[in-house]
């Protein structure tokens, strides 16, 4: 690959199924732990925060999540996204939160050359990934639905969105990441200096653990139960996407996963099995975990070289591991992966 140098290191051992290792056992006894959990945005969320301000801050955090879900849901008839999807071409006013999120999604769609596209909801629905009534759409149906997609057809101006008739939005590929980022900002404003937010597998951290050490996250093995390694991180977001999250096996014996390629309307057919993005911005990590899964290894690395500002940990369908130099010292593979070469990407 152009202008690239791969370093290698032989891995030793250690422990995203997303399990958390060592998160509470070493915390200082004087630091109070507070937790909250809820089901929202189609997933289970678990929040853990430490300190005197944490309890009230988490209560407010739950309220915020419920408020944002009521804005972005594709099925709630009172949501702004539902209103846009059933607007028949008329402008629909948006709240600041929804406008900001949609604008970001559209900007990332352009920057990733359509690998991320918030207008493919009808295709996701046609494959059955919304109601779990799985099916394989015909070529004709896919082509018809593709004609209704295209992020560049969305008009966002004067605090309102206008969609061509028949087009539908879904902000699911960025909504959880944005939620994590906003919640982290909220907790910090309330004086919380240590927290871990698990938003359906999207991890957003505030600071380090209470004892000052980094959080340890198990990165899920995309081929079987368990993790393929441990990542140590703090005060950032870690988001993983893979075909293992939602999938079905068709009558033809083929496995079809929920991450669709907007160019084909079919499950993304790249050489990647798992994409983990690490960075300061939760919404950016969320968007790129999907987009780079669609792009594949070569294009994903080229994107990182071009834009930077984040780290990534990739596993290919062949079981090879690629990671960026910024996390080389913070990733330890599981024992079964300890004998293989790990490719370290340098800009």
pLDDT tens, residue by residue, 85-95 = 999 999 999 99
Report the share of the chain in percent with pLDDT over 70: 92
Do residues 301 and 6 lie in contact, with contact meaning Cβ atoms separated by under 8 Å?
Answer: no
The mean per-residue pLDDT over the stretch 160-180 comes to: 96
Please report the DSSP string for 294-322 in residue order.
HH-HHHHHHHHHHH-SSEEEEEETT--EE
The mean per-residue pLDDT over the stretch 196-205 comes to: 95
Do residues 122 and 168 lie in contact, with contact meaning Cβ atoms separated by under 8 Å?
Answer: yes
* Predicted pLDDT of residue 224: 87
Of 169, 203, 208, 210, the residue nearest 183 (C-alpha)? 203
* Predicted pLDDT of residue 26: 44
Of 303, 305, 324, the residue nearest 111 (C-alpha)? 303
* Predicted pLDDT of residue 252: 86
The mean per-residue pLDDT over the stretch 41-64 comes to: 96
pLDDT of 27 above 60: no
Mean pLDDT of the chain: 90
Using 50, 70 and 90 to split pLDDT, how confident is the model at 9? very low
pLDDT of 12 above 60: no
pLDDT tens, residue by residue, 126-165 = 999 988 899 999 999 999 999 999 999 999 999 999 999 9
- Tell me 105's DSSP state: H
Q: Can you name the residues that pair with 121 across neighbouring β-strands?
A: none
Using 50, 70 and 90 to split pLDDT, how confident is the model at 5? very low
Q: Which residue has the tokens 């006894």?
A: 29
Contacts of 54 (CB under 8 A, 6+ apart): 32, 33, 34, 187, 192, 195
Using 50, 70 and 90 to split pLDDT, how confident is the model at 114? very high
Query: What are the distances in angstroms from CA 297 to CA 8, 153, 196?
Result: 17, 28, 29
Helix (H) or strand (E) holding 182: helix 172-189
Give phi and psi for 125, each to the nearest 5.
-65, -40
Cα gap 146→246, rounded to integer Å: 21
Using 50, 70 and 90 to split pLDDT, how confident is the model at 72? very high
* Predicted pLDDT of residue 21: 41
Contacts of 76 (CB under 8 A, 6+ apart): 69, 70, 82
pLDDT of 225 above 70: yes
Cα gap 182→144, rounded to integer Å: 37
Q: Supply the pTM of this predicted model.
A: 0.90
Do residues 265 and 150 lie in contact, with contact meaning Cβ atoms separated by under 8 Å?
Answer: no
Give phi and psi for 239, each to the nearest 5.
-125, 130
Q: How many CB atoms lie within 10 A of CB 272?
A: 23
């Amino acid at each position: 690959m152009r202008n690239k140098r791969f370093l290698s290191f032989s891995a030793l051992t250690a422990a995203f199924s997303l399990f958390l290792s060592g998160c509470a056992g070493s915390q200082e006894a004087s630091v109070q732990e507070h937790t909250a959990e809820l089901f929202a945005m189609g997933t289970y969320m678990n929040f853990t925060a430490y300190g005197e301000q944490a309890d009230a801050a988490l209560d407010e955090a739950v309220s915020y999540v419920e408020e944002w879900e009521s804005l972005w849901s594709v099925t709630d008839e009172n949501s702004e996204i539902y209103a846009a999807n059933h607007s028949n071409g008329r402008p629909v006013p948006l709240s600041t939160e929804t406008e900001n999120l949609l604008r970001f999604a559209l900007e990332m769609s352009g920057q990733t050359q359509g690998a991320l596209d918030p207008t493919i909801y009808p295709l996701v629905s046609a494959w059955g990934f919304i109601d779990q009534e799985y099916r394989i759409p015909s070529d004709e149906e896919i082509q018809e639905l593709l004609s209704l997609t295209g992020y560049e057809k969305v008009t966002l101006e004067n605090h309102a969105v206008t969609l061509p008739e028949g087009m539908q939005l879904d902000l699911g590929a960025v909504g959880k990441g944005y939620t994590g980022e906003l919640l982290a900002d909220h907790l910090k404003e309330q004086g919380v200096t240590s927290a871990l937010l698990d938003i359906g597998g999207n991890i957003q951290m505030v600071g380090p653990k209470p004892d000052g050490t980094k959080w340890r996250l198990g990165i899920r093995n995309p081929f079987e139960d368990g993790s393929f390694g441990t990542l140590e991180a703090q005060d950032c977001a870690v988001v993983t996407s893979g075909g293992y999250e939602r999938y079905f096996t068709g009558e033809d014996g083929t496995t079809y996963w929920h991450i669709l390629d907007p160019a084909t309307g079919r499950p993304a057919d790249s050489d990647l099995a798992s994409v983990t993005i690490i960075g300061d911005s939760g919404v950016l990590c969320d968007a790129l975990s999907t987009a780079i899964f669609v792009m594949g290894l070569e294009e994903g690395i080229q994107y990182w070289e071009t834009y930077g500002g984040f780290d990534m940990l990739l596993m290919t369908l062949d079981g090879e591991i690629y990671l960026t130099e910024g996390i080389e010292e913070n990733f330890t593979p599981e024992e079964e992966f300890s004998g293989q070469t790990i490719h370290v990407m340098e800009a």
